[in-house]
């Protein structure tokens, strides 16, 4: 039987007598007697388990050497250590050839994380560079933590499984939501899972039904340019451990428990938790990157290698690409998803650069990628929301063609075409119309429900909504890359002045454009997503790639809630009405084609039934029937830079009238009113202001205006619009 070693590089500690252990399950598995450790490494010549008392220990307290005959089954190295309890810190040293030309990068000087470790601690003196250079890095290395997943009282909590038709996604950053001093969160809990809990009433009042959290898997915050910090978290180094820095307590088990506290609290408020997961690359980077985990355990198994096997295939744009369809990596991904659903009660996942998962070991696109079908067919994941970012950094774009029956997709074409329409691009109208109807030209062939399309205009990657209407160009100089990073195709429009403007007319136009985008996002067919702070016009000062800043330039400034309270109110009322939809079993089963054919009554221009589909048209109207609610809704989208007067459909019942719910041209609070308090419109036409969205509704019922209690108004828009001046185009 193996025993612990005691030598000059091992802190003095009593010897531990171990037993052979088991190959399954992988990772550190807790029992009453101790912990079973199991690690996959096909080509290792020797493996050592290192035990630590403290995250900054320069030497392990115990080193347990695996016997290559007794403690190895096939490619799995395993040992049982009695007496070990949750909270124990550990790591591995894995011996083998360092032969990059053959795809092998073993380095026994490096302390390696357990790929299945449920917890990670990061010493204050963590040094990414030490993991890249030659020599021992024990004192500055991350360590894994033994976790007992069963040691938590969920108090009856379970994933919510809310229908997609009732889902309003709020993409947010766990830390950035409360780090700003204006958040009102206690200084000790700002930027943590517990800090987010304190702000749940805000999310609940806003009306969102799901938070989509930027990466919370343990990531390497030093994976960024010198002097900056990886803020977004798209640099994973563990697919099972919650990020330690988001815990308000610094003991080794607090991240797991505090994350669960957050999930439980969100569920109690009726809010689902969707995680942004990164299974396309790791923080170990390119050929000159650090050895933190996978590179030193099974480099050629975990990563796609180039024809020159000393180099990595780079479809992620970050230096390496995970070999997602390798059997061991497929198992790890599915095991990770199961863990987060079964043990952490997560409701869904958004897969970063998901198209990479469709590539084979040579990087070619597969028609039926095993990993995607593994995820789709796993019964433990049934009912879990799966959302794909259906493209990658090497040009593969699969929006509308991503493999699988249950996957939702981030609809990047919705983002682009809605942006193009509201900056009055010629030729954008037809595409815009298709996007607001669920992108039927993209998804109709699949006979799927509208919610396959996740509709968004902004996300973490790119301009905020405020910056989309305030900047023509990106301003990423602070990133230290000469403003070369970040997307160049933003389809933004600054409304006449680059950056902040003192001109009230420009500010009013920007506010209107923000409301236009929000209206279309939240009322279009599909699953809507808005980005943290867009409801109060959060700005990043023109930086469209702010991944490497962790300061007030990217945090949620809660003072904006007062400054832009009209936008916040606007979003609340939009969401309230969307969630009032009748979404009975019949509605949930309807495909996109059925929805359109059942509800769409007609397209119009300024004249009824005469839409202008020319490339130079910038306006359209449509009528949609909501039979479950006995309503007819009339939408006017005017991206033209002058006012237009639209004929309204004649209502058969002369005892009813049209009611004005939204007109983004009007000042708050007339821009949107509570649905049942919408004033009646007695005219047969409606004058839509320049660059505005109007929504009117009428009931097919027989109630009189006196019975409903509605007020009556004529055109609330002043006929004498101010001159547009230089605000008439996006150029």
Q: Which of 466, 519, 522 is nearest to 636 (CA)?
A: 519
Q: Which residues pair with 698 in a beta bridge?
A: 632
Catalytic-role residue among 107, 171, 347, 389:
389
| Per annotation, catalytic residue among 198, 352, 374, 451 | 352
The CA distance from 355 to 395, in Å, is 10
Q: What is the 3-state secondary structure (H, E, C) of 87-126?
A: CCEEEEEEECCEEHHHCEECCCCCCECCCCCCEEECCCCC
- Whether 57 contacts 139, CB under 8 Å: yes
The DSSP H or E segment spanning 586 is helix 585-589
Task: Give the closest residue to 292 by CA, choosing from 222, 357, 371, 229.
Answer: 222
What are the tokens at 497? 């002045």
Closest residue by Cα to residue 413 from 393, 446, 437, 386: 437
Q: How far apart are CA 443 and CA 399, in angstroms?
A: 9
Q: State the Cα–Cα distance between residues 221 and 219, nearest whole angstrom.
A: 6
The token pair that represents 490 in the structure block: 């933003």
* 674 in catalytic set: no
| Tokens linked to 377 | 């067919």
CB-count burial class (<10 Å; 0-12, 13-18, 19+) for 584 = exposed
**Coil, strand or helix at 330:** helix
Q: Are 136 and 109 in contact (CB under 8 A)?
A: yes
**Residue at token pair 């009007």:** 666
Annotated catalytic residue 663: no
Structure tokens at 501: 């403007």
Distance from the first to the final alpha carbon of the chain: 76
- Nearest 5°: the CA angle 245, 246, 250 is 60
Query: Which residues have C-beta within 8 Å of that of residue 387, sequence separation ≥ 6?
Result: 212, 274, 348, 349, 350, 351, 407, 408, 409, 410, 454
Q: Are 115 and 332 in contact (CB under 8 A)?
A: yes
Q: Which two tokens stand for residue 465?
A: 């909504």
Mark 319-338 as b/e (b = at least 16 C-beta within 10 Å): bbbbbbbbebbbebbbbbbb
Q: What is the CA radius of gyration of the chain?
A: 28
Helix residue spans in 188-294 (DSSP H):
193-198, 200-206, 254-268
Produce one character per residue of 55-67: b if its CB has 16 or more CB atoms within 10 Å, e if not.
bbbebbbbbbbbe
Q: Which residues are catalytic?
A: 352, 389
């Amino acid at each position: 039987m193996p025993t612990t070693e005691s030598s000059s590089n091992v802190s003095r500690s009593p010897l531990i007598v171990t037993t052979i252990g088991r190959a399954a399950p992988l990772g550190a598995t807790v029992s009453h007697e101790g912990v079973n450790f199991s690690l996959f490494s096909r080509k290792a010549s020797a493996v050592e388990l290192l035990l630590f008392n403290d995250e900054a220990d320069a030497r392990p307290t115990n080193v347990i050497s695996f016997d290559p005959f007794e403690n190895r089954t096939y490619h799995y190295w395993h040992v049982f250590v009695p007496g070990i309890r949750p909270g124990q810190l550990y790591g591995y040293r894995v011996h083998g050839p360092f032969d990059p030309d053959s795809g092998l990068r073993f380095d026994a000087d490096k302390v390696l994380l357990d790929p299945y470790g449920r917890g990670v601690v990061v010493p204050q003196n963590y040094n990414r560079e030490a993991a890249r250079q030659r020599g021992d890095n024990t004192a500055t290395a991350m360590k894994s933590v033994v976790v007992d997943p069963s040691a938590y009282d969920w108090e009856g909590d379970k994933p919510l499984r809310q229908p997609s038709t009732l889902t309003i996604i709020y993409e947010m950053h766990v830390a950035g939501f409360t780090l700003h001093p204006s958040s009102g969160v206690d200084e000790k809990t700002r930027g943590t899972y517990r800090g987010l809990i304190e702000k749940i009433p805000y999310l609940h009042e806003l009306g969102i039904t799901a938070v989509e959290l930027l990466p919370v898997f343990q990531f390497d915050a030093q994976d960024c340019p010198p002097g900056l910090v990886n803020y977004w978290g798209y640099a994973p180094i563990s697919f099972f451990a919650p990020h330690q820095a988001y815990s308000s307590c610094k003991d080794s088990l607090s991240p797991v428990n505090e994350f669960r506290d957050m999930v439980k609290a969100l569920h109690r408020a009726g809010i689902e938790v969707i995680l942004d997961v990164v299974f396309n690359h790791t923080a170990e980077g390119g050929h000159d990157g650090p050895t933190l985990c996978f590179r030193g355990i099974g480099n050629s198994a975990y990563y796609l290698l180039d024809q020159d096997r000393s180099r990595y295939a780079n479809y992620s744009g970050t230096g390496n690409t995970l070999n997602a369809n390798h059997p061991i990596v497929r198992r790890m991904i599915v095991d990770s998803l199961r863990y987060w659903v079964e043990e952490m009660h997560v409701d869904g996942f958004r897969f970063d650069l998901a198209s990479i998962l469709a590539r084979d070991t040579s990087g070619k696109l597969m028609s039926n990628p095993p990993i995607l079908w593994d995820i789709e067919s796993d019964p433990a994941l049934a009912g879990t929301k799966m959302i794909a970012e259906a493209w990658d950094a090497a040009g593969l774009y699969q929006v509308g063609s991503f493999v699988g029956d249950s996957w939702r997709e981030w609809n990047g074409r919705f983002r682009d075409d809605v942006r193009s329409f509201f900056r009055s691009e010629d030729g954008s109208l037809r595409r815009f119309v298709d996007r607001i109807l669920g992108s039927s030209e993209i998804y109709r062939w699949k006979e799927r429900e509208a919610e396959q399309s996740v509709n968004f205009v902004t996300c973490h990657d790119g301009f905020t909504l405020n910056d989309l209407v305030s900047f023509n160009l990106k301003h990423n100089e602070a990133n230290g890359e000469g403003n070369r990073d970040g997307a160049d195709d933003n389809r933004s429009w600054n409304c006449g002045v680059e950056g902040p403007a003192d001109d009230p007319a420009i500010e009013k136009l920007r506010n209107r454009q923000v409301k236009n985008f929000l209206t279309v996002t939240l009322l279009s067919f599909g699953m809507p997503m808005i980005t943290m702070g867009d409801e109060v016009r959060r700005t990043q000062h023109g930086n469209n790639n702010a991944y490497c800043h962790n300061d007030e330039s990217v945090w949620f400034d809660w003072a904006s809630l007062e400054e832009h309270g009209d936008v916040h109110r606007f979003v609340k009322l939009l969401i309230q009405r969307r969630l009032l939809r009748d979404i009975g079993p019949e509605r949930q089963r309807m495909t996109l084609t059925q929805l359109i054919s059942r509800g769409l009554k007609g397209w119009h221009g300024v004249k009824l039934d005469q839409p202008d589909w020319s490339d130079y048209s910038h306006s359209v109207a449509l009528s949609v029937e909501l039979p479950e609610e006995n309503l007819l809704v009339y939408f006017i989208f005017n991206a033209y830079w002058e006012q237009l007067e639209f004929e309204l459909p004649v209502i058969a019942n002369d005892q009813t009238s049209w009611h004005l719910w939204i007109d983004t041209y009007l000042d708050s609070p007339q821009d949107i009113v509570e649905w049942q308090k919408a004033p009646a419109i007695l005219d047969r036409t409606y004058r839509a202001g320049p660059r505005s969205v109007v929504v009117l509704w009428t009931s097919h019922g027989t109630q009189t205006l006196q019975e409903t209690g509605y007020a009556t108004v004529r055109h609330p828009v002043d006929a004498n619009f101010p001159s547009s001046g230089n605000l008439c185009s996006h150029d």
